[in-house]
Chain A
Amino acid sequence: EAQVTQNPRYLITVTGKKLTVTCSQNMNHEYMSWYRQDPGLGLRQIYYSMNVEVTDKGDVPEGYKVSRKEKRNFPLILESPSPNQTSLYFCASSSLGGWKTQYFGPGTRLLVL
Chain B
Amino acid sequence: QKEVEQNSGPLSVPEGAIASLNCTYSDRVSQSFFWYRQYSGKSPELIMSIYSNGDKEDGRFTAQLNKASQYVSLLIRDSQPSDSATYLCAVESGGSYIPTFGRGTSLIVHP
CB-CB nearest in chain A for B45: A104
Contact B102 A42, beta carbon cutoff 8 Å: yes
Tell me, in angstroms, the Cα distance from A21 to B27 when the chains sit together.
Answer: 32
Contact B46 A101, beta carbon cutoff 8 Å: yes
Cβ of B37 to closest chain A Cβ, rounded Å: 11
- Indicate whether A43 sits within 8 Å of B101 (C-beta atoms), given known contacts A100-B32, A100-B34, A101-B49: yes
Kindly list chain B residues whose C-beta atoms are within 8 Å of the C-beta of A107: 42-43
Kindly list chain A residues whose C-beta atoms are within 8 Å of the C-beta of B90: 43
Contact B98 A58, beta carbon cutoff 8 Å: yes
Tell me, in angstroms, the Cα distance from A48 to B97 when the chains sit together.
Answer: 8
- Count, chain A residues at interface, CB 8 A: 21
Contact A100 B92, beta carbon cutoff 8 Å: yes
- Count, chain B residues at interface, CB 8 A: 19
Tell me, in angstroms, the Cα distance from A56 to B22 when the chains sit together.
Answer: 31
Tell me, in angstroms, the Cα distance from A105 to B98 when the chains sit together.
Answer: 18
Contact B88 A59, beta carbon cutoff 8 Å: no
Contact B101 A104, beta carbon cutoff 8 Å: no
Give A contacts to B, CB under 8 Å: 31, 40-45, 48, 50, 56, 58-59, 90, 99-102, 104-107
Give B contacts to A, CB under 8 Å: 32, 34, 42-46, 49, 88, 90, 92, 97-104
A-B contact pairs, 10 of them (CB 8 A): A43-B44, A43-B90, A43-B101, A45-B99, A59-B98, A59-B100, A90-B43, A100-B32, A100-B46, A106-B43
